[in-house]
Chain A
């Protein structure tokens, strides 16, 4: 119902009267008054659960306390957020959660950033009131990306809701009941053996240390300390606008140059940029798209359209499980991380005179799925494992803190060359719509010889956090080679979050997809909301990080991938041409059919 006039409801909260729109929850109403009610199972990304019972409030006339997150306001409601009954109940609930939680905070990676710990601190639960009943299960370490420790689980189900609602993956579920109720997978299998995409949204929504990324910090330190190794680091687009949150700066800060200095200070031998291979991806993928369009529209050949981006490894594994009949729609381009690895261990190694067997490639990613991607058996085009270690933004934050670096005071630094220079197009890869925007900037120019007609190159229809975005681009004034495209309307779509990917793919599978080119990123918001990003991640933070990337784009000398001088150089010097022989060997890949269930 689209009733413009929203009905207002009057309630009193702790004796203060407030008027809020109908259907507001008590929790929202209290926050609008500046009253803070703690929550655990509540997360703005997810549907309301009302199961942790931390946010209970007293409502006059009600026999029981009400979960403020799950109870809508009603006219005349008198709400008490801090009565004796509420405080006692809340403390009991926290005590109960602590009794089933293995509270080894000192040994936990979420120490200092744990919602349960914060509540325990707030309520001063110094002595365990109840009997310790936490389960003694060993953590599940089967996955190269995600670690699951049930002994720290408080069963808030945020992970399950993230996995199901945001991602429609449903690798995680709630199973059994009563005292045996737990968060698990199909048939209690280890994470490595189920349909998990390694996207890490469960990790980023977990309030405690029950779900964490697999940590490779010590391995990276070992490599750095090893004098026989040349350690190369690459930095993903999205981390330059989020690492600040890990090192005490506010959200949405662009810190690219300080990041470079920090990495050098940590001891990396070459500090290079995934943004460079993002630009390279655009060249390869853009040409692949034009090749497919040529075959389809000019030569009437049978070719899979729409073509879909392949930068997001969570999305790739999802497609391999769920849509394994449509894998031919995926671009064969490797992700920027995996284009970087083999180039580092071939071209770059030769350039700097390092034996590739002595080179260690580390990537800093906003992503947990990248850990899995790097470990895929086919990712050995250099003759070695192309990318040796993948650290999340959070793990890099840890290393910087361990090294005692005062990030804010760092001087600016510049990336090494070659594989260090990038464009604004590469930078915006880190947000939903960014790959599409970068690709259109280049493809349009290849086809027409002119810059894409958007003010300041800002292709606004593909920006923003809408789950599925669409745009149509009329192609006019084509160059001779592409005159078959004259007057054509290029239809594109962008989806982020795998639940949206599923919707898009259902259309593709049924043959009803109206698009030519689709960008899909596994995580809500794209990489700026990735499973390896600072916790918490909310829509407000996603927007701040995305805006910082767009700012970065605008400040760059070059804003179109094909204008990147190092890209031009690497084709002249090594790759020869897009989709050429070397490209196929190093930069393209194929996909694996996996079981749906």
Chain B
């Protein structure tokens, strides 16, 4: 075996200076690339805010201004007062649906995750596998049947029609109610899975110790499991709330009347007149208003979102 070529002192100076130059160049290129990409990534947000503060005339300019010449808050005033976008009602509906569905969803998720993580019963593993398998199926497949289901829940509406019973018809037809926006999505197999994984990591000895002390399962769940799994529960809460905020298709199908419409649905069609011409600055103001709560969530709860997301891949 030949020994590696020994570099002479002169060479070494050359090598060491070349090495330094390469390092500096590499680092500069890295920062340059990241900087450009970062600008591309946040530019839409900037453009949204910048446009929302422009008057229509300024927005229409052939050579656009990056920063509005005159800060014009009229667009925001219009967003909050316009008949076209009943913002108050939309916010109210979305929050109501979000809070209620998150609350019940959490209860159901915690109970189920606990059962799967700690309790022993026949068929547990088979059931869990079955539930996980349903995660593979695209939601659209369920939507088709669920649309039928909520129009005629358990056949009650049909029965009511046959009997001439108005009460049964009302019970059976969920269209344009809050319930239809909440109930079908209360159970998420993914959240159950996420929380179960977290529960399992809590040492079983704690559970056995609690049993020896005579603590009931439910008390153990409330006093030990939930506090220990709190970060995951917070992640689930945020993701679920964001889901309500961003949901579009299902509300659009089943509850698109003015009384129950959610924010995203209201937003998509607002400020476009009958000819399909859009008042972009006002629209951008509306988008900014809708996005604002999400930014707040992002700024303060980023950690939990990232944690939840890195285990999911499911958006909202």
| A-B complex is real | no
Please give the residue numbers on chain B whose beta carbons come within 8 Å of chain A beta carbons, in ascending order: none
